[in-house]
Structure 1
Amino acid sequence: MKLRAKLMIGVCAALAAMTSFAKAEDKAIDFIQCGDSEDPVYPPIISAWESAHPGFKIHIEVVPWDTCQDKVTTLSAAGNPPALAYVGSRTLKQLANNDLIIPVPMTDAEKAAYYPNIPDTVTFKGNQWGIPTAFSTKSLYWNKDLFKKAGLDPEKPPTTWAEELADAKAIKEKAGVAGFGVVAKTYDNTMHQFMHWVYTNNGKVIDKDGKIVLDSPENLEALTALNAMVPYAEDGPTAYEQLEVRAIFLDGKLGMTQQSVGAVNLLKDAKFAWGVAPLPLGPHAKGPGTLLITDSLAIFKGTGVEAQATDFAKFLTNPDNQFKYEVSNGLTPLRPVPGVKDLVEKDPHWKPFIDGIAYGGPEPLFQDYKGFQNTMIDMVQSVVTGKAKPADALKKAAADLEQYK
C-alpha cells in the first residue's frame, strides 16, 4: 500500500508539473481596457473564448481613462504593443497610417448587422481599422417646469433650430435662467457638441475621399445657429464642458441641454419634470441626426497573435456579448438586436437616442486627431466670444484642418 501510495503521489506530481508547464506555455494575448476596473461582463466571455482556444490566455490590464490612450500609443510606438486595446475610434487613422495596427475588414453581412453609419466610424481608405465596442449618441433634454414658467407648452419640445432658439429666449427672459447649455470650454466635447449641430443639418467636415468640406452652407448655418444661442446660454460658455453644463441642468437651472443617455439615470429622482426628445433639426436636415461616437478594439501589429486577438475581439463584440456589455454600461446599442425593442418598451427614454442614428455621422477621422479637435474648439470659441464672425471662423478652420488630415 505504501508503494502504491508513493506511485500515486509521483503520478499526481508529474501531472501537476505537466499542467504547470502547459500553463507556462500558454501564449498571452495582452488586452488593454480603459476604465477604473475590469468590466464585470468580461470574465465569463473570456473564459468561454479561452476554453475554445487552448494554449492562449487573455491578460487584461486596466488603465485609467485619462492615461489610457497615451499609454497604448506610447507602447505601440516603442515596439511593445498590446495584442489589442480599447481606443477611441478617432485615433484609428493615426494608428493605421503609422503602421501600428492591422485592418479588421467587415463583410457586407457584418456591416448590415449594425445600425446605419456605425461602420463609418472605423472606416477610411475603404477599410475598417477597429471593431466598435462602445457607442454614444445625444438627445435633447428639456426642463418641463421651466418651459411652463416661460409660458411654453411643457409637453412640446422644439423640433427645429428656430423653435429651439425661440424657446431658449423665452426661458431666459421669462423664467430668469439660461435657456440652453452652450459648451465651449477647451475640452474635447466642445468639438463633439458642435458636431451634433453639423449632423442635424446634413453637414460634414471631411468626405470619404479625404477632402475638407467644413466650409459649407450647411456648416455655416450650424455655427451661426450655435452662436445665436449664446445670449440665452449660461454666462461665459468657454468655462463649461459638457458635464458641467449637465450639472446645471440636473440642478434645475437650465432649460435645455444636449446629453447622452447616461443623464436619464441621474434624473430619476429629479425634483422637476423633464423629458428627452430627438435633437432639433436645421433647415437642411434630412431626418433625425447626432454625432455617432464609438470606441473600438484595435488589433496591434507585430505581436505574433494578431489572428487570435482578432478572433477574440470579434467574439467579445458579437451581437449577444456586445448587447450584454451595452446593457451593463448603459450604452446606446450598436445593433438593432431583439433586446433593443424590449429596452425601449421598458424605458421609452431610449427611443430618441436610437432614432438619431439614422442620419447621424461619425467622429471625423484625421491623421492628427488632436490637431483636428483643437482647431474645432478654437473655431467655436472664437465665435461664441465674438472674436470672429461665423463665416470667417469657418473658413479659417477649414484651411487649418488641411495640415491634420
Structure 2
Amino acid sequence: MDEAVERRRFLGLTAAAAALGLTATVAGCGSLGGDSGDVTLRLVAAEYDLTGGDSTKKYWTDLVAAFEAQHPGVKIEIQVESWDDVDRKVAEMVAAGNAPDIAQIGAYADYADAGKLYAADEILSIPVQANFLAPLVAAGESKRTQYGLPFVASTRPLFYNEDLFDQAGLKAPKTWAELAAAAEKLKDDGVPTPFALPLGPEEAQAETLMWLLSGGGGWTDATDHYVVDSDANVRTFEWLRTNLVGKGLTGPVAPGKLNRKAAFAAFARGEVGMLNGHPSLVKEAAKKGVKVGQVPLPGADGTPKSSMGVADWIMGFKQNGHRKEIGDFLNFVFSDENVLKFAGDNDLLPVTVSASTRMETDPEYANLREFLKGLPNAQLPPVGKTSWAKVSENVKQNIGKAVAPGAKPAEVLAAIGRAATAAEAAE
C-alpha cells in the first residue's frame, strides 16, 4: 500500500461477517441526518490480497451486507482494484465527472485541494473523529483541515536475521556505530548483504525518510516547508555513503538499483543480515525458516525521537451529495471490531486509539507489537502537500546517487531540494 506506502500489499480477510463482529455499531455515533430514502453509494477500494484471491472483496462484501441490514435505505456497490490501478482509475473517474462516493486509495491531497472531498468533521461523528491516532490525523490534513481518513497504518523497525547474528555473536544494534560494526562482522562471516539499503525507484522515498528521521532530520520543518538538504539530512547521507556503502556492506547491488521487493526476497532467503522491514516480511521470512529480530532503527547516538509511519486512506467525495449516507457507512467502518480485524488479519496496524489499545494486550497480535510501539510517535511523509507526489517521484529516481562512489550527498540533496521548493511554490 504506504506509501501510500511502497506498494506494500498484504493478505486479506476470509472470515464471515458474523464471526468478525462486523454488525457492531459505533457507540455514540448516531445518524448524521434524517432518512433520505433509497440511496446507492459506489465504493472503490484497493486490493490487499497478494495471493491472487478475493479476500479483500469478501471483506467489503461482508461488511457492506452487515451495514445494509442496519440501513435498509442504503445500497453500496463495491469495486476492488489492484494497487497498480486503483489510484489511476479513481483519478479517471473524477476527471470524467463520475467520482465514486467513497474511495479507499493511496492519496487524497489533490482531491482535497480541488474541493472535491468532504472534511472529516462533515461526515464523521465526534467520537469516531476523536479516536484517530494523532500522527495519522496530522498526515490526513490539507491546509489544516482533515480530509484523508486513515484506513490502515504501518511502521518500519529494523529487522535482523537472528541466526546470522547468533552465529556472529552479535546483539541488536542501538546506534549507527553499532549497526556499522555489526555489518562489518557479518561481512567477515560471508553474509552476501550485511545491510540491505533499497534506494531504487520502487520505494526510495520511504527508505530515505527512515534514515532522515534516525539522523534527526526529515522532509519538512516545523512550518511544513521542505528542507531536503538540511544539515542533518546531509550528515545522514554522508554517513551512509562512508560507513555502509563505501565499505562494501550493502551487498552486490548498488543501493540506487536495489528495490525493496528484491531486498525483502533476499532477506527471506537468508542472504541479508539487516534491513528496514515491513510487517508483511515477518510471515514471508518465517515460511522460509528465517527468524526475524525486530528493534527500532538506531539513531546516530541511540533511539531516534520518531520513526517513519505510513498510511493508506479512505475518503468521501462530494459530487453525488450523499454526505449523510457516506458518513453513516464510514462511522461503521471505523468500529473497533472492523478496524482491528482488518488490520490484524493483514499484518497492519489499526488507525484508532481504542483498537490500538486492544491490539497491545491481545496475544493474537504479539507479532505486531514492535510495529505498534512506533506508531504514536511516528512521522509520516508529507502526503497532505499536493507537491509531494512530484517530490516523491524525484526522490525515487535520484536519491540513490547520493551514496554512489565519489558522490557528494550535499549536491544531490540540494538538487532535489530546489525542485521540491519550486513544486511547493506552485501548490
- Which bin holds the TM-score, normalised by the shorter protein? 0.7 to 0.9
Q: Is the 8 A contact 1:276 1:349 kept in 2?
A: no
Aligned residue runs from structure 1 range 288-307, under 5 A: 289-307=306-324
**Displacement after TM superposition at 1:128 (Å):** 0.6
Distance of 1:317 and 1:109 partners within structure 2? 10
Letter in 2 for 1:399: R
Q: Is residue 376 from structure 1 mapped to residue 391 from structure 2 by the alignment?
A: no
**Displacement after TM superposition at 1:185 (Å):** 1.5
Q: Is residue 229 from structure 1 mapped to residue 244 from structure 2 by the alignment?
A: yes
Distance of 2:344 and 2:368 partners within structure 1? 12
Summarize the Cα distance change of 1:274–1:83 in structure 2 as closer, same or farther, 3 Å threshold. Answer: closer
Partner of 1:101: 117
Distance of 1:326 and 1:272 partners within structure 2? 24
Superposition TM-score, scaled by structure 1 size: 0.84
Which of 38, 41, 45 is equivalent to 2:59?
41
Partner of 1:215: 229
Summarize the Cα distance change of 1:208–1:297 in structure 2 as closer, same or farther, 3 Å threshold. Answer: farther
Q: Is residue 179 from structure 1 mapped to residue 194 from structure 2 by the alignment?
A: yes
- 3-state SS in 2 of match to 1:246: helix
Letter in 1 for 2:321: G
Distance of 1:290 and 1:40 partners within structure 2? 33
**Displacement after TM superposition at 1:176 (Å):** 4.0
Distance of 1:34 and 1:211 partners within structure 2? 30
Distance of 2:65 and 2:291 partners within structure 1? 45
**Bigger CA drift: 69-78 or 33-42?**
33-42
Distance of 1:355 and 1:83 partners within structure 2? 34
Aligned residue runs from structure 1 range 216-365, under 5 A: 216-227=230-241, 228-230=243-245, 231-236=248-253, 237-283=255-301, 286-287=304-305, 289-336=306-353, 337=355, 338-343=357-362, 345-346=363-364, 348-365=366-383
**Displacement after TM superposition at 1:272 (Å):** 4.4
Moved segments of 4+, more than 6 Å: none
Q: Is the 8 A contact 1:114 1:334 kept in 2?
A: yes
**Displacement after TM superposition at 1:110 (Å):** 4.6
Q: Is the 8 A contact 2:175 2:302 kept in 1?
A: no
**Bigger CA drift: 388-397 or 241-250?**
388-397
Summarize the Cα distance change of 1:185–1:66 in structure 2 as closer, same or farther, 3 Å threshold. Answer: same
Q: Is residue 32 from structure 1 mapped to residue 44 from structure 2 by the alignment?
A: yes
- 3-state SS in 1 of match to 2:58: coil
**Displacement after TM superposition at 1:347 (Å):** 5.4
Q: Is the 8 A contact 1:41 1:324 kept in 2?
A: no
- 3-state SS in 2 of match to 1:362: coil
Summarize the Cα distance change of 1:52–1:185 in structure 2 as closer, same or farther, 3 Å threshold. Answer: same
CA RMSD of aligned residues (A): 2.4
Q: Is residue 92 from structure 1 mapped to residue 108 from structure 2 by the alignment?
A: yes
Distance of 2:334 and 2:90 partners within structure 1? 20
**Displacement after TM superposition at 1:372 (Å):** 1.2
Partner of 1:152: 169
Between the aligned residues of both structures, percent identity stands at 23
- 3-state SS in 2 of match to 1:199: helix
**Displacement after TM superposition at 1:122 (Å):** 0.7
Q: Is the 8 A contact 2:237 2:409 kept in 1?
A: yes
**Displacement after TM superposition at 1:402 (Å):** 1.6
Letter in 2 for 1:92: Y
- 3-state SS in 2 of match to 1:350: helix
Distance of 1:394 and 1:202 partners within structure 2? 16
Q: Which has the higher helix share?
A: 1
Letter in 1 for 2:331: K
Partner of 1:8: none
Q: Is the 8 A contact 1:140 1:259 kept in 2?
A: yes
- 3-state SS in 2 of match to 1:145: helix
Q: Is the 8 A contact 1:131 1:314 kept in 2?
A: no
Q: Is residue 401 from structure 1 mapped to residue 420 from structure 2 by the alignment?
A: yes
Q: Is the 8 A contact 1:201 1:222 kept in 2?
A: yes
Distance of 1:290 and 1:249 partners within structure 2? 21
Distance of 2:145 and 2:349 partners within structure 1? 24
| Number of positions where the alignment pairs a residue of Structure 1 with one of Structure 2 | 373
Distance of 2:339 and 2:231 partners within structure 1? 38
Summarize the Cα distance change of 1:284–1:94 in structure 2 as closer, same or farther, 3 Å threshold. Answer: farther
**Displacement after TM superposition at 1:109 (Å):** 5.5
**Displacement after TM superposition at 1:164 (Å):** 1.1
Letter in 1 for 2:108: L
Which of 196, 204, 212 is equivalent to 1:190?
204
Letter in 2 for 1:218: A
**Displacement after TM superposition at 1:353 (Å):** 0.6
Aligned residue runs from structure 1 range 108-127, under 5 A: 110=128, 113-127=131-145
Partner of 1:166: 181
Partner of 2:25: none
Per-residue CA shift, 1:177-204, capped at 9, x if unaligned?
A: 21101102222x1111111112223423
**Displacement after TM superposition at 1:148 (Å):** 3.5
Letter in 2 for 1:369: W
Q: Is the 8 A contact 1:286 1:359 kept in 2?
A: no
